[in-house]
């Protein structure tokens, strides 16, 4: 199945979910190299973005599980709304740097609350060039957390 066909089928799927969930949202689907982007907007955006974007992440997960097998290995389906992904990345980067400073001062490891794989990746990358602290992931499944400790 081509990316265009996946995008069309994905649009129909998300529209059905929105109708059935009675969320007042509209979507715009665009394709780029290595990604199909789904941007949601409307008066019910707050439901998508609440609890650190839990519903937005769930929709993205379902879309990738359902349609990812029709895409090349390096192509992902990415859901966003109100530039949430970019703002969340900046927030996680700041949190990681603040936590690293706390570890330096207290000499004690710091463990974040459970995060999605993408959010854990952001934290690891934010601190990857620091030589005095290191990051590790611990736990299983939905309980997987990032720990920052002295190197």
CATH code for the domain in which residue 40 is found: 3.30.300.20
110: confidence class by pLDDT, cuts 50, 70, 90:
very high
Range of the domain at 44: 3-82
Together in a domain, 125 and 77: no
Please report, for the domain that includes residue 132, its CATH number: 3.30.1370.50
How far does the chain reach from its first CA to its final CA, in angstroms?
Answer: 47
Q: From 55, 82, 109, give the residue that closes a domain.
A: 82
Alpha-carbon span 149 to 151, nearest angstrom: 6
Strands of the sheet containing 110-111, edge to edge, are 110-111, 145-150, 133-138
pTM exceeds cut of 0.85 = no
pLDDT tens by residue, 50-74: 988 989 999 999 999 999 899 988 8
Average pLDDT, the chain: 94
């Amino acid at each position: 199945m081509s990316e265009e066909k996946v995008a069309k089928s994905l649009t129909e799927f998300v529209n059905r979910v929105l109708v059935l969930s009675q969320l007042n949202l509209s979507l715009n689907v665009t394709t780029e190299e290595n990604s199909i982007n789904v941007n949601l907007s409307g008066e019910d955006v707050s439901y998508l973005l609440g609890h650190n974007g839990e519903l937005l992440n769930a929709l993205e997960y379902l879309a990738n599980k359902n349609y990812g097998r029709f895409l090349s290995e390096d192509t992902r389906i990415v859901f966003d709304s109100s530039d949430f992904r970019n703002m969340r990345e900046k927030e996680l980067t700041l949190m990681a740097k603040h936590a690293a400073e706390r570890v330096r001062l207290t000499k004690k490891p710091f463990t974040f609350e459970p995060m999605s794989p993408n959010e854990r990746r952001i934290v690891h990358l934010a601190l990857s060039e620091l030589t005095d602290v290191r990051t590790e992931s611990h736990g299983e499944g939905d309980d997987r957390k990032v720990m920052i400790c002295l190197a």
